[in-house]
Amino acid sequence: MSNSVFCKKYQKEMEALDFPPFPGAKGQEIVSSVSKQAWQEWQKYQTMLINEKRLNMMSPEARAFLSAEMEKFFANADDLEPVEGYVPPENAS
């Protein structure tokens, strides 16, 4: 049986991550308050941000930007950075 966690994004008990996505306190905070579904959704959104904004992940500014966006994403903030230029793939019929 899988573990569950009270997800701060969805405000309900959901399937937990299998392991912390980061080392240290930040990883422990995420694994104890973010569901597997919310984390997967964040990864997709993060990838769109990195690609469309052409972020250099070696840059401390880019990493700080993503960290701030991650906090807003999990808090369901209304001021998430728009992903301009993203065109979703067409649905296969």
Task: Catalogue all structural domains in the chain, each as residue range(s) with its CATH number.
Answer: 4-74 (1.10.3880.10)
pLDDT tens per residue across span 10-37 = 999 999 999 999 999 999 999 999 999 9
Burial of 65 per CB tally in 10 Å (0-12, 13-18, 19+): middle
Note the Cα 49 to chain centre separation in Å. 11
Q: Which residues are 16's β-sheet partners?
A: 35
At 36, give phi and psi (nearest 5°): -60, -40
pTM value?
0.84
Distance in angstroms (rounded) separating the CA atoms of residues 41 and 47 = 10
**CB 82 within 8 Å of CB 16:** no
Distance in angstroms (rounded) separating the CA atoms of residues 79 and 93 = 34
pLDDT tens per residue across span 30-71 = 999 999 999 999 999 999 999 999 999 999 999 999 999 999
